[in-house]
Amino acid sequence: MTASHGVTLAIIGGSGLYQIDGFEAVSSHRIETPWGRPSDDIVEGQLEGIKVLFLPRHGRGHHIAPSDINYRANIAALKMLGATDLVSLSACGSFREEMAPGHFVLVDQFIDRTKSRPSSFFGSGLVAHVSMAHPVCAGLTGRVRDAAEEDGLTVHARGTYLAIEGPQFSSLAESQLYRSWGCDVIGMTAMPEARLAREAELPYALVGMVTDYDCWHAEEEAVSVTNVLEVLSGNAEKARHLVKTLATRLAGPRHPSPDGIETVLDYALVTADDKRDPAMVEKCRVIARRVLG
């Protein structure tokens, strides 16, 4: 595999993560995409010698609910600013005793139970089907794992994330059902974020920051906002340093994803050239310029 230009690392910060240790901001971008504006201005800067783009998923001050996040605008804006790799940090609940509050889980699979969120950039007039069999980048996730271990964090190398609509937490019956499905963690924001990153040919890694045991755990108090916020503060501090350590590992020439994510659209666009809607083509060009010209 040949090296390419350097990394431009995009970071989407979840609940409680609104800054990064050592991040030297250079500029702030207020982006308008064909799907509207992202959650907030995107701050561009330098961290350990690499270019970083930072976007708070819920907006600064946490004013956007999970179902109201403009996921398409978030991913499109980062792509428009030149992101080559995307690391998402997201608070989540745990279905596993061994995945305790304060631990980090490197998600590698998803079950999507959201129902009211646009989940694709493409549609009638420009149809595309990308594979989500392996929805995260193994190479980027491995770099995150190495950085977490270097920081001395308790990190679980794999996990299945159950995405729910929210904003309410699960009922006890739902929590027990999801455990029986083999899910490991639960959250409200990773979908359709991961799907859209794949369509935009962005290698994606998700760091699940465990805040609670959902409500299945008989010996723990049912999840409450107060409990979550206490753990959230500690997790955010760990995550800020984790991003800094990761940046040192990404410095230097960039290598393509071992999963071929940068070229997934080569065979995904199925609409014949003479049947393509020019307006849809123009709209999608910002995330698929490589194949749409």
Known binding residues for substrate are 188, 212-214
Which ranges of 210-277 would DSSP assign to H, the alpha helix? 225-250
Residue with tokens 């997790």: 235
Contacts of 291 (CB under 8 A, 6+ apart): 265, 266, 269
**Cβ count near 72 (within 10 Å):** 24
CA distance to 15, 42, 144, 162, 276, per residue, from 155 (Å): 19, 28, 10, 18, 45
**Do residues 199 and 91 lie in contact, with contact meaning Cβ atoms separated by under 8 Å?**
no
DSSP annotation of 128? B
Q: Which residue type, as a one-letter code, is found at position 104?
A: F
Which residues belong to the active site?
212, 214
Of the candidates 123, 30, 12, 125, the residue with the CA atom closest to the CA atom of residue 71? 12
